[in-house]
Amino acid sequence: MQPQDVIWRLLEHYSLQLQLLDESMGEVDPKKQLDLLNAIRECEQLTRTQINILRRMQRRYDHGG
């Protein structure tokens, strides 16, 4: 498996995770479950950070690095 394949697989996984987190935020009552909503937002931020790291690596491999 090539590095680009690994990166693609991980990006797909994180994309699905973002979708799940987004859907979950819509189901949480912000008045009654603010702590849960904040935790989900933190997870979303971490997932976006992981995606950014992988995209950086993707650019490196796409440009022959």
Look at residue 26 and tell me whether its pLDDT is greater than 90.
yes
pLDDT at 65: 61
The whole-angstrom separation of Cα 62 and Cα 46 is 24
pLDDT at 64: 72
Record the tokens describing residue 17, joined without a space: 């995770």
How far is CA 50 from each of CA 19, 32, 35, 56, rounded to the nearest angstrom?
15, 30, 23, 10
The whole-angstrom separation of Cα 24 and Cα 34 is 13
Look at residue 32 and tell me whether its pLDDT is greater than 90.
yes
pLDDT at 1: 87
